[in-house]
A and B are shown apart, each in its own frame.
Chain A
Amino acid sequence: MTMEVNRTYPVNGPKAWYQRWWAVQPVRSTVIFALSLAIGLVVWQLISIKYGVYFFPSPSETWIAFKELAQDGSLATSTIDSARRILVGWGLGLVVGIPIGLVMGRFGFVRQLLDPYIEFFRFVPPISFVTLAIIWFGVGEASKVVLIFYTSVFIVTISTIAGVLAVDPLKVRAAASLGAGPLRTMFLVIIPASIPEIVTGARLAMGNSFLTIVSAEIVAAQHGLGALIWKSRNYGRTEWVFVGIITLGILGFLFDRIIRVAVRRGLARYVNHG
């Protein structure tokens, strides 16, 4: 009976406090994140010491600029303006891109008809349309939203087509023999089965929107993070540029997180099978 006791391994003995904490996943990832941030700040500081504020502002100079811009309200309005343009343009991209992708994926004829245009325009960067957008849609909001829409719609369409084409034909056959006509097949089989690819497309489109917003705000935008970055050039305020860039990065990260959480909450059954 005492044999059992002798078989205890030292590994199972009490652990030190840091070992216990390190085993907790959220603690571990927070610590690693903080470490990553700290290393980044140190590298940034070292580079800025070498080059000076005009060429490469330090973290503290950037922080002061951040407070400056936050206090006079221009950072908040810029962020809100850019976020709104991105959300509207990206949303329109989904609203137009998903139905087009569904129809193109389902009907080979339509696919062949539209494919040359999709394949052409997806290689033309939005920045090349800035001038045209202003001529056609004016200097107001419309031209910016259109550029964000342009950068979103192709990737959403292409992802949706990929999703539709990947639907197992067995599912379509099964649905047909269970009484589903073309419309029900679309809404009850094709769309639910394509949701993972559509979500991927939406996330890529969000990334594209952030890449595009700065060029969309080059000309004639009063506010917006892109406008802030372009205007800072005129004042020679490199640290404002840094503030704009960091805010864009954080905003993009935040939006992607929101999409991921929303998908996990609302679309879990469509995404997490298999």
Chain B
Amino acid sequence: MSALQAVSASSGAAGHSIEFRNVSIRFNSFDAVSGVSLRIQPGEFVCLIGPSGCGKSTLLSAAAGFLGTRGDAPGAVEGEVLVNGERVRGPDISRGVVFQSSEALFPWRTVRENVAFGPRIRGVRGGELRDLIDYYIALVGLDHAADRFPSQLSGGMRQRVQLARVLANQPRVILMDEPLGALDAQTRSVMQREIERLWQETQCTMVFVTHDLDEAIKLGDRVVTMTAGPGAGIKSIYDIKLERPRDETTPAAIELHRALRDDVAEEVLKTLRSQRR
């Protein structure tokens, strides 16, 4: 029991701040993102929303450290991305990433072995490792499926594995790239609650990319809408002051939904018009 308390205590560490300072990202001749500045507070839940191809995922990759840092390489980050005040130079276990596709899981490993991936590399062994894995598998509600392979799980369960695998490294920031994008509406709704609960328990900073306006309103402390690419930037930032757990059917939520919808629709139309030209 004491081991579990130690585990949960250490995971309760506060999240890290993230700061984009005048960030531009260019792939060969294509401007994915240009001139984005955004400060995300420690422990904050920020949702990024915008038309397809607007560079939401690119921004997330920059924070994850997947993009190069050399100025001339394609996809290199110009400007600065700072996490906890330090410049991002590559991927790090303090910044967990949850992907939309369950291709990110290791299909030759069971749930337990997937979750053990990070901790084993960190050198956690034996009983401590077992307790840690059990704790995080239970935290995402997969105790009954711990020894199954990803191919034996539903879409929602696979995303739970991704979450547990990231949480087992006790990150300070979790970056989620449309993690619920491939799920059906019912599972989505359940998973949104789960993610909110895990965020409250771990106090991580969350950056959540989504297409779903209601999802963004339900989860975000702030919702950031982006302009259409090429050269995408931040369009507007909404402070969501609704009480948690949120209900997307209240008048206030619906009003927000309208505002966000108009915002995004404007950008989608802009893209369509530029394509027609």
Contacts and interface: CB of A to CB of B under 8 A. Distances in A.
5 contacts: A171-B106, A189-B106, A192-B108, A193-B106, A273-B151
Contact of B99 (A170, A180, A193, A273): A170
Given A179-B93, A188-B106, 4 more contacts: A176-B65, A177-B93, A179-B121, A179-B122
Contacts, number: 73
Interface in B46-69: 64-66
A184 interface: yes
A170 B103 CA distance: 7
Given A168-B103, A188-B117, A192-B106, A177 B149 contact: no
B107 A274 contact: yes
B107 A174 contact: no
Interface of A: 168, 170-171, 173-180, 184, 188-189, 192-193, 195, 269-270, 273-274
B149 A269 contact: yes
Chain A interface mostly: helix
Interface of B: 64-66, 90-93, 95-97, 99, 101, 103-109, 117-118, 121-122, 149-151, 165-166, 169
Given A179-B118, A179-B122, A269-B149, A174 B169 contact: no
Nearest to B95: A177
B121 A180 contact: yes
Given A179-B121, A188-B117, A171 B64 contact: no
A174 B149 contact: no
A178 B103 contact: no
A177 B118 CA distance: 9
Nearest to B90: A176
Contact of A178 (B66, B93, B101): B93
Contacts of A188: 106, 117
Nearest to A271: B108
B97 A177 contact: yes
A129 to B, nearest CB: 38
A176 B91 contact: yes
B151 A173 contact: no
| 6 tightest A-B CB contacts, nearest first | A273-B107, A176-B91, A178-B118, A177-B91, A170-B104, A174-B104
A177 B106 contact: no
A179 B170 CA distance: 12
A46 B110 CA distance: 57
B103 A273 contact: no
Contacts of B105: 171, 174
B92 to A, nearest CB: 7
